[in-house]
Amino acid sequence: MTIINATVPLGLIKNIDDYSRIINEILKHNVSFNILKFSTTPEGINLLLDVPEEKIKTITESLTKNNILVNKKGRVVIDEDICIDCGACISLCPTDALNFKDDLSVNFSEEKCIGCLLCIDSCPRFAIQESR
Amino acid sequence: MAKTYKEINDKIKNGNAVVITAEEMVKYVEENGPKVAAKEIDVVTTGTFGPMCSSGAFLNFGHSDPPIKFEHLWLNDVHAYHGNAAVDCYIGVTRMVDIRPFEYGGGHVIEDLVARKKIRLKGNSYTTDCYPLAEIDTEFTIDDLNQAILCNPRNAYQRYVCAVNSSDRTLYTYMGKLLPNFGNAHFAGAGALSPLSNDPNYETIGIGTRIFLGGGIGYVLGEGTQHNPKGRFGTLFLKGDLKQMTSEYLRGATYPEYGTSMFVGVGVPIPILNEDLALKTAVSNSEILTDIIDYGIPRRNRPNIRQISYEELFSGEIDINGKKVKCSSLSSQYHARKIANELKEWIEKGDFLLNPPAETLPTDSIYKPMRQSLELKFVKDLKRKAVTCYEDCEIKIVAERIINKNTNHIIITTHENKLRGIVTSFDITKAVAQDKHEIKEIITKKVITTTDNEPIDVAARKMKQHEISALPVIDEQNHVVGIITSEELM
Ligand code: SF4
Ligand code: SF4
């Protein structure tokens, strides 16, 4: 499974239920998938989805045709130069994307990050940023 | 067989002292026993690297021309304390910049100072005959200063508690971000590497002990503030020459919605004078215990959930009432280890000698709470009787109550007096305008509440935080036992 981020842009939202367009569009492809996060942002309504790897291309195409933006944004990046390996962020992370290496320095496994952003304001060094 | 400081120092000078870290010592004693360890090992090094709010530095700028006697001064816009002679000051790590607090503070100024960055100094004065200059605005680096002395009244806690949050909202504390309903746990301290846990009776640590501080050499000035030997929460008062230190081991930090602090690197060498000290420095994470404390209750005596060992804390997951909770440290174990190893290298190279303390730390002092001359007031002292309505009554009746009882808040309850929600006079006005008739259409169900034994200030902060003007008071079974409004708090 792979995580994608689907957004109904602000200008196209008429109804709060418009996120169902994203779901209906994906369901057409006869796949099962997980909704990891639902959020409303200044850019529009945003769904973080875990979809089967092999269907990424077709799903992306059909969503894009319906004016739904698809990208991999929504994860975080860690600036290793400012990080001091305290580990305060680790207990906030629901997926073990943030973890310790053997030498107890802090490691970020990007592929496990679901972009929940819980970690961002736990960092005393502002080392974690939402990726753009 | 006992050793003396002199024997150990002679070996250090000859380059043949045997030095290992406190982590290595655990294994060594396990394999060889304390007798062999006492004979073979000369020094055990410890280390810790965590946020230490009771830190700061004394700086002396030298005199300007014409001279100035500071009344107020700012370093990179952080207000420094001035209550000494003309051009001395103390910059404390928790002081934040006035204009963009929670981003930059005294700890960051100290980090920038040791990184040899330029610091802006602004100051003013009421002027005197001997100090006529009224204002100064200049830049300096640490090398321009006469003295820059790190002076921390409380560092290197022997151990610290593990913090969790039972409340229903995320808390931002000095123990970091704590998720609601025991969503995570944070602890601090280096466990088996912690300096004071390796000499728990303070036999070798005291006034004058030479240590690793912030990457340079520092000294123990004595017991730290709130030193609590009986509770096994000993602390150290430390000082050192800031000019020798590096920004790798002094790092400014910000805990969102709490404030700024600084990570300080401390390492204390423990001479293995006898078998007893060999045994003590072999203390393992499973033997160092602390408590899990519920920060969801904002009182001095927060509920203690249970005892826990550092071994369990370091495992990354702890058990709280049968629930698995992710747990991580606020202090860096990676750096704590690095500090213990760096100190070990210094001693092995013959650069760093050990000295007996002029006086050891007290083992019997008592840690007291604050004496408060005004009696603490609780919600039960100021609450009034709530005006209530049952959930199934008509809006018209609610409206009548609001008028008759001259109130803005009606608490909605079940027939058993259990809290269901709240309706305000504004909700009623809206209901009339929108032609609504049933309470369930206008009720606010997610209500912020308080209890009889909550201090008034805690209730007041809740109202401020949620921008509301009243809190229903409930008992343990969710029965409504009163209401407290902002009027009572005035
Ligand atoms: S955004 Fe969420 S999943 Fe990603 S690292 Fe942070 S806490 Fe973990
Ligand atoms: S909280 Fe920040 S500084 Fe600490 S380990 Fe995580 S990213 Fe690094």
- The pLDDT score that the predictor gives to residue B31 is 97
Closest CA to ligand 1's atom 3: A113
Q: Which residues of B touch A (CB under 8 A)?
A: 49-51, 103, 172, 176-177, 179, 184-186, 251, 253-256, 261, 263, 316, 326-335, 337
CA of B104 to the centre of ligand 2 (A): 17
CB-based burial of residue B22 (10 Å sphere; 0-12 exposed, 13-18 middle, 19+ buried)? buried
Residue located via tokens 């809740």: B462
- The pLDDT score that the predictor gives to residue B318 is 96
Structure tokens at B166: 């039972």
Residue located via tokens 């899990």: B292
Domain boundaries, position A125? 76-130
Confidence band for A132, pLDDT divided at 50, 70 and 90: low
A81 shares a domain with A67: no
CB-based burial of residue B475 (10 Å sphere; 0-12 exposed, 13-18 middle, 19+ buried)? middle
Residue A127 near ligand 1, beta carbon < 6 Å: no
Asked whether the beta carbons of A11 and A74 are under 8 A apart, the reply is no
Residue located via tokens 């001395």: B88
Please, what is the average pLDDT of chain A? 85
Residues having CB within 6 Å of any atom of ligand 2: A 78, 83-89, 106, 122-123, 125, 127-128
- The pLDDT score that the predictor gives to residue B1 is 66
One-letter amino acid at B22 equals: A
> How many beta-carbon contacts under 8 Å exist across A and B?
71
Interface touch B326/A91, C-beta < 8 Å: yes
* Final residue belonging to a domain, choices A38, A55, A72: A72
Spatial separation of the C-alpha atoms in residues B322 and B305, rounded to whole Å:
12
Q: Which atom of ligand 1 is nearest to the CA of A89?
A: 7
Interface touch A90/B256, C-beta < 8 Å: no
Contacts of B328 in chain A (CB under 8 A): 87-91
Catalytic residue, candidates B53, B89, B130, B151: B130
Confidence band for A72, pLDDT divided at 50, 70 and 90: low
A67 shares a domain with A15: yes
Measured at the CA of B358, the angle between CA B352 and CA B361, to 5 degrees, comes to 100
A64 shares a domain with A7: yes
Interface touch A86/B330, C-beta < 8 Å: yes
CB proximity list for B209: less than 8 A, separation 6 or greater: B219, B220, B268, B355, B357
> Which residues in chain B come in under a pLDDT of 70?
1
- The pLDDT score that the predictor gives to residue A126 is 96
User: Total structural domains in chain A?
Assistant: 2
3-state secondary structure of B347: helix
What is the arithmetic mean of pLDDT over A90-98?
93
Spatial separation of the C-alpha atoms in residues B394 and B423, rounded to whole Å:
12
Closest CA to ligand 1's atom 8: A93
CB proximity list for B395: less than 8 A, separation 6 or greater: B428, B431, B436, B437, B438, B439, B442
- CATH label of the domain that carries residue A11: 3.30.70.240
More confident residue, B268 or A19: B268
Closest Cα to residue B175, out of B328, B324, B316?
B328
- Compute the CA torsion angle B396, B402, B405, B407 (nearest 10 deg): 170
A67 shares a domain with A13: yes
What structural domains and CATH numbers belong to chain B? Answer: 1-156+183-283+327-369 (no CATH), 379-489 (3.10.580.10)
Radius of gyration from C-alpha coordinates of chain B = 29
Going B462 to B467 to B470 to B472, the CA torsion angle's sign is negative
Q: Which atom of ligand 1 is nearest to the CA of A93?
A: 7
User: Among this protein's residues, is B389 annotated catalytic?
Assistant: no
Interface touch B263/A85, C-beta < 8 Å: no
The residue of chain B nearest to residue A92, with distances taken between CA atoms, is B184
A81 shares a domain with A59: no
CB-based burial of residue B230 (10 Å sphere; 0-12 exposed, 13-18 middle, 19+ buried)? exposed
Is residue A43's pLDDT more than 80?
no
Q: What is the ipTM of this complex?
A: 0.80
A67 shares a domain with A91: no
Interface touch B326/A89, C-beta < 8 Å: no
Structure tokens at A53: 């790897």
Spatial separation of the C-alpha atoms in residues B108 and B252, rounded to whole Å:
4
Q: Which of A3, A36, A46, A76 to mutate to test the pocket of ligand 1 (most atoms within 8 A of CB)?
A: A76
- The pLDDT score that the predictor gives to residue B367 is 82
pLDDT tens readout for residues B40-80: 999 999 999 999 999 999 999 999 999 999 999 999 999 99
A120 shares a domain with A64: no
A7 shares a domain with A68: yes
Contacts of B172 in chain A (CB under 8 A): 121
A86 shares a domain with A57: no
- The pLDDT score that the predictor gives to residue A41 is 75
3-state secondary structure of B237: strand
A92 shares a domain with A45: no
- The pLDDT score that the predictor gives to residue B441 is 85
| Nearest listed ligand to the Cα of residue B254 | 2
User: Running DSSP on this structure, what letter comes out for residue B65?
Assistant: S
Whole-model pTM?
0.82
A81 shares a domain with A56: no
Phi first, then psi: give them for residue B402, nearest 5 degrees: -60, -40
Of B179, B184, B255, the CB nearest to A124: B255
Interface touch A90/B176, C-beta < 8 Å: no
Spatial separation of the C-alpha atoms in residues A120 and B121, rounded to whole Å:
32
A21 shares a domain with A65: yes
Interface touch A87/B328, C-beta < 8 Å: yes
Is residue A111's pLDDT more than 60?
yes
- The pLDDT score that the predictor gives to residue A74 is 58
- The pLDDT score that the predictor gives to residue B433 is 86
Closest CA of chain A from B330, distance in Å: 5
- CATH label of the domain that carries residue A118: 3.30.70.20
Residue of B334, B337, B339, B341 for testing the chain A interface, max A β-carbons within 10 Å = B334
* Final residue belonging to a domain, choices A30, A45, A72: A72
Confidence band for A35, pLDDT divided at 50, 70 and 90: confident
Closest Cα to residue B43, out of B358, B343, B287?
B343
